[in-house]
Amino acid sequence: MDEIKYDLHCHSTASDGALPPTEVVLRAKEHGVTTLALTDHDTVAGLENAKKTADELALNLIPGIELSCSWSKKTFHIIGLNIDPNNAELLEGIHGIQTTRIERAKKIAHKLEKNKIPGAFDAVQQAAGSGMITRTHFADFLLKNNYVNSMQGAFDHYLGQSKSAFVSTQWAELDDAIHWITNSGGIAVVAHPMRYKLTASWMRRFLTAFKEAGGQGMEVVTGRSNPDEIRRAIHFARQFELHGSVGSDFHTPKNKWVELGRLAPLPPSIHPVWRLFPS
Ligand code: AMP
Ligand code: MN
Ligand code: MN
Ligand code: MN
């Protein structure tokens, strides 16, 4: 029997990925992925083309999304797996976040202008096309025009929290986002739990709220997890009886550290989230 390989978190040009949905699926196939979830930020626009390609390649595509949420004045990313991309309440919910994204992009561009960096909004709008505008687009713009010399530099100097072009944003409420996912038949999963830099007590508070709202999973393994981060994620997943997910968070072939399907195995002490998928 052929090996089964899951990658349940990645991005296409529908949000801040470098490759169109079709090419993401082709690349996943080339890297041995057998079940892929495309999880663009706050949009389902890439799923139709991804599904067509996946069907041609006999790859199992899980319709997914990564929702931007606010809880206790902090930003969290919640992955929805196996959502119904046509669910009216979900679509209405993400429409609200999409409007917020455009308004925020204008404010970021305005702050950059005050830093003598003109033209950012037009540039990111053109780069994003019909897709979501994200801070990745701003970072690309700053890098291309030599205002910074790396993507990380763009976040360190301008776009990161409390930097000069940072815009504090009210995203979807955590409870609402989880409801949109579960109400459409999906499974809500905490994305990259170690990236929020929470203390253990804040993590417990957050996971308590996440569970109460109907959340069921946590990304235990991501494309950039080190063994210590995996250990800590397992600890919380077990404590809160969350199913474990694995996702590379692939955005671009230019990032040599993150590749589709390149993931540490899910530890055996964790119930895999794919057990919850209907067979
Ligand atoms: P947004 O949702 O618009 O705030 O953009 C967040 C996205 O920016 C994330 O999904 C990442 O793809 C990207 N990002 C955040 N921090 C960094 C960083 N330090 N370096 C590169 N990309 C980053
Ligand atoms: Mn991203
Ligand atoms: Mn994320
Ligand atoms: Mn992501």
Cα(235) to ligand 4 centroid in Å equals 22
- The protein residue with its alpha carbon nearest to ligand 1, atom 2, reads 134
Instruction: Specify the pLDDT at position 52.
Output: 98
Candidates 76, 266, 1, 178; CA nearest to 275 is 266
CA distance 56 to 134: 31
Asked if the model's pLDDT at residue 265 lies above 80, the reply is: yes
Q: Is 41 in the pocket of ligand 1 (CB under 6 A)?
A: yes
Q: Which of the ligands is closest to the CA of residue 250?
A: 4
Residues 127-131: contacts with CB under 8 Å, at least 24 apart: 129/13, 130/45, 131/13, 131/14, 131/15, 131/16, 131/40, 131/43, 131/45
Which whole number is the average pLDDT over 170-175? 98
CA distance 220 to 107: 34
Which whole number is the average pLDDT over 12-25? 98
Instruction: Specify the pLDDT at position 212.
Output: 98
Reported confidence tier of residue 257, pLDDT bands at 50, 70, 90: very high
Reported confidence tier of residue 128, pLDDT bands at 50, 70, 90: very high
Cα(60) to ligand 2 centroid in Å equals 23
Instruction: Specify the pLDDT at position 205.
Output: 98
Q: Is 76 in the pocket of ligand 1 (CB under 6 A)?
A: no
Strand 187-190 versus strand 74-81 pairing type:
antiparallel
Asked if the model's pLDDT at residue 1 lies above 60, the reply is: no
Contact 247, 219 (CB under 8 A): yes
Q: Which residues pair with 68 in a beta bridge?
A: 77
Which whole number is the average pLDDT over 197-213? 98
Contact 71, 206 (CB under 8 A): yes
- The protein residue with its alpha carbon nearest to ligand 1, atom 5, reads 135
Cα(243) to ligand 1 centroid in Å equals 25
Q: Which of the ligands is closest to the CA of residue 68?
A: 1
Report which ligand 1 atom has the smallest distance to the Cα of 16: 12
Candidates 203, 206, 200, 219; CA nearest to 79 is 219
Q: Is 222 in the pocket of ligand 1 (CB under 6 A)?
A: no
Torsion of CA 124, 128, 134, 140, to 10 degrees: -60
Q: Is 134 in the pocket of ligand 1 (CB under 6 A)?
A: yes
Mutate to test the pocket of ligand 1, among 16, 106, 108, 170 (most ligand atoms within 8 A of CB): 16
Instruction: Specify the pLDDT at position 279.
Output: 76
Cα(3) to ligand 1 centroid in Å equals 32
Tokens of 9: 């978190």
Q: Which of the ligands is closest to the CA of residue 9?
A: 4
Strands (E), the chain: 6-7, 35-38, 60-71, 74-81, 172-173, 187-190, 217-222, 243-247
Asked if the model's pLDDT at residue 115 lies above 80, the reply is: yes
Secondary structure (3-state) at 256: coil
Contact 111, 164 (CB under 8 A): yes
Instruction: Specify the pLDDT at position 278.
Output: 86
CA distance 68 to 97: 8
Which whole number is the average pLDDT over 83-100? 98
Q: Is 68 in the pocket of ligand 1 (CB under 6 A)?
A: yes
Asked if the model's pLDDT at residue 102 lies above 70, the reply is: yes
CA distance 151 to 146: 11
CA distance 10 to 27: 11
Secondary structure (3-state) at 116: coil
Reported confidence tier of residue 252, pLDDT bands at 50, 70, 90: very high
- The protein residue with its alpha carbon nearest to ligand 1, atom 14, reads 136
Tokens of 220: 């235990």
Helices 47-57 and 21-30 cross at an angle (nearest 10°) of 30
Which whole number is the average pLDDT over 107-127? 98
- The protein residue with its alpha carbon nearest to ligand 1, atom 22, reads 136
